[in-house]
Amino acid sequence: MKNSISILAIALLMSGSIFTSCKSAVQKEAAARQNVDNAKENVTEANEDLKNQQQDNEADWKVFKAESEAKILANEQQIEQVKVKMNKPSSTFDGIYRTRIEKLEASNVDLKSRINNYDANQTGWDVFKKDFNRDMDELGKNIKDVFN
């Protein structure tokens, strides 16, 4: 008898804890509604963040493009100055030097094409910017080497 009372007491305790740990249907529904509301709010915030990021990227792109176009124009002018010096009758420029100038000019044209053809809405903006700046700096260095 003691065993059956102990077993009954344990069973009552277990069933009581199960019932108290379970939420009612109303509580579950309210929690689900709250989760949906939180998810909607998170989506709205994410959309706002994305919109702000796109606006920041667009502004950054405009500044970057203007600066890059100015550098490209300066490179074109420097290359033209070298070409004028090369074409003077007293100049002693050899074929290797001319080839080097042509490569610099082609690199500058390539950079101009890349900046004009890049769609600012593309993904990979940071990679494009990094690669473009690296190539622009390398070209600038090579142009300066020609003058020295």
Residue 128 located in a structural domain:
yes
Residue 113 lies in a domain: yes
Q: Does some domain include residue 12?
A: no
Position 112 scores a pLDDT of 95
Q: Does 15 reside within a domain? A: no
Residue 4 domain-assigned (yes or no): no
56 within some domain: yes
Q: What is d(CA 83, CA 101) in angstroms, rounded to the nearest whole number?
A: 8
Question: Which pLDDT score is estimated for 48?
Answer: 83
User: How many domains does one find in the chain?
Assistant: 1
20 occurs within a structural domain: no
Q: Does residue 2 lie within any of the structural domains?
A: no
* Residues of the domain holding 49: 26-147
- Digits of tens for pLDDT over the chain (148 positions)? 556 666 655 655 555 555 555 667 777 777 778 877 887 787 788 778 777 777 777 888 899 999 999 999 999 998 898 888 777 776 666 777 788 889 999 999 999 999 999 887 677 888 999 999 999 999 999 988 876 6
